[in-house]
Amino acid sequence: MDFSLSTEQEILRESVRSFAEKEIKPVAAELDEKEAFSYDTMRKMAELGLFGIFVSEQYGGQAMDYISYIIAVEEIARIDGSHAATVAAENSLGIGPLYYFGNEDQKKKYLPKLCSGETLWGFGLTEANAGSDAANSKTNAVLDGNEWVINGSKIFITNAATDITAGVTVLCRTGTREDGRPELSCILVESGTPGFTAREMHGKMMWRASNTSELYFEDCRVPEENLLGPRGSGFHQMMQTLDGGRLSIGAMGLGGAQGCLDMALRYCNEREQFGRPIATFQTNAFKMADMAMEIECARLLLYKACWLRDNDRPFSKEAAMAKLYCSEVMYRCANHSVQLHGGYGLMKEYDVERFYRDQKLLEIGEGTSEVQRIVISRYIGARCL
């Protein structure tokens, strides 16, 4: 077995780490407070090459492996969840479906600007009444001549309502199968198409500087060729996309947990009570030892899942495990880290307060922890409904 990263992967980690420290850390708290998506840091992340990391060069990508992408997300998440969300959603949910399921024309049309970070793309799966039960989507698309006519709505869609969003991949009902189940297909809808509105959602507890929106389709007409892949393959495409997406949520959990430990170590070695640094009290040191151990386990599980993916082996079970485990490790690390900061950990001037809030999404987005346990149960042979 070889646990070492390649020189390229180590260089990438170093460059993303120093970028996040220098460019994101100083502005993260203010952006969170103002609930503002930053076009400035978006441009800088694009210049660093954080979009299209695993896409081949012919479409403008960096042609790196998936583990490199995951390391980049991990390092951004070590500093800020909102920026990590922008990068992760764009790569795995925005770019991913176009890259893996798009035809040559669609790839050439959209990927170069998405990979250069000039534009963003959303992934429209969730609806108000179809979250965990995503196959129950009601958004409807009917073929009228050579156009799809789309009606319905989506909710909680990341990166879909920015000034630079070029469009969104939308899961639609396009008919009924012979067995009576709905036929689901993915359709590409460009921003600015008449009948399509993206409305930004406000008031989030977490990821406050990431862009989240509701999408509305009212007799929205798009060309027939905007169908992504074969008709009826939409649900399969979305589930495959989520397998990759779950690795990015895992990376956010891992990076966030590491950030919580870094802050705890710094604080506990400086803060003195009873005449000595609080890190010297065994109960506090042991908390941090437990955090370090869990982070190490999380990293091994996540990287192994990425390795499986990079080597074209099945990785759905491991992706669900990594997503579930890494997000729960961050939950425990954020909780310990706030506890170790005492009252100061509850104040906004300490970044750990933001990490404590940002963590919660990881147990909910891209399949809740309960859904991950269902997925894992099925893979191990427990016939969970």
Ligand X SMILES: Cc1cc2nc3c(=O)[nH]c(=O)nc-3n(C[C@H](O)[C@H](O)[C@H](O)COP(=O)(O)OP(=O)(O)OC[C@H]3O[C@@H](n4cnc5c(N)ncnc54)[C@H](O)[C@@H]3O)c2cc1C
Interacting residue ranges for ligand X, rule: CB under 6 A? 89, 93, 123-126, 131-132, 156-158, 204, 207, 212, 361, 364-368, 370-371
- Judged by CB, which is closer to ligand X: 113, or 373? 373
Nearest approach, Cβ of 373 to ligand X (angstroms)? 8
* 3-state secondary structure string across 4-31: CCCHHHHHHHHHHHHHHHHHHHHHHHHH
Closer to ligand X by Cβ: residue 61 or 245: 245
1 or 380, CB closer to ligand X? 380
Query: Angle of helix 39-48 relative to helix 81-88, nearest 10 degrees?
Result: 60
Q: Which is nearer to ligand X, 203 or 343 (CB)?
A: 203
Residue with smallest beta-carbon separation from ligand X: 131
Verify whether residue 75 is a known catalytic residue: no
Write the CB contacts of 276 (distance below 8 Å, at least 6 apart in sequence): none
CB of 46 or CB of 89, closer to ligand X: 89
Whether the CB-CB separation of 268 and 279 falls below 8 Å is answered with yes
Tokens of 313: 């082996």
Angle, helices 282-310 vs 66-77, to 10°: value is 150
Per DSSP, the three-state class of 203 is: coil
Q: How far apart are CB 315 and ligand X at their closest, in Å? A: 20
Q: What is the DSSP string of 276-313?
A: EEGGGSHHHHHHHHHHHHHHHHHHHHHHHHHHHHHTT-
Neighbour count for residue 152 (Cβ, 10 Å): 21
Q: Which residue out of 14, 225, 366, 370 is catalytically annotated?
A: 366
Q: Render 199-247 in DSSP notation, one character per residue.
A: EE----SS-TTS-EEEEEEEEEEEEGGGEESSTT-HHHHHHHHHHHHHH
Q: CB 385 → ligand X: shortest distance, Å?
A: 7
Question: How far lies 215's CA from each of 116, 124, 218, 301, in Å?
Answer: 25, 8, 10, 35
104 three-class SS: helix
Q: Work out the burial of residue 116: count CB atoms within 10 Å of its CB; fewer than 13 is exposed, 13-18 middle, 19 or more buried.
A: middle
Between 60 and 97, CB nearer to ligand X:
97
Containing 218, the helix (H) or strand (E) segment is strand 212-223
Nearer to ligand X, 156 or 217 (CB): 156
Q: Cβ contacts of residue 312 below 8 Å, gap of 6+? A: none
User: Closest separation between CB of residue 119 and ligand X, Å?
Assistant: 16
Residue 374 Cβ vs ligand X, minimum distance, rounded to whole Å: 6
Residue with Cβ nearer ligand X (19 or 123): 123
CB of 94 to ligand X, least distance (A): 8
- Picking from 155, 205, 159, the residue whose alpha carbon sits closest to that of residue 35 is 205
Question: Residue type at 85?
Answer: A
Cα–Cα distances (Å) from 297 to 19, 67, 270, 280, in that order, read 26, 16, 28, 25
Residue indicated by tokens 């104040």: 347
**Catalytic annotation, residues:** 366
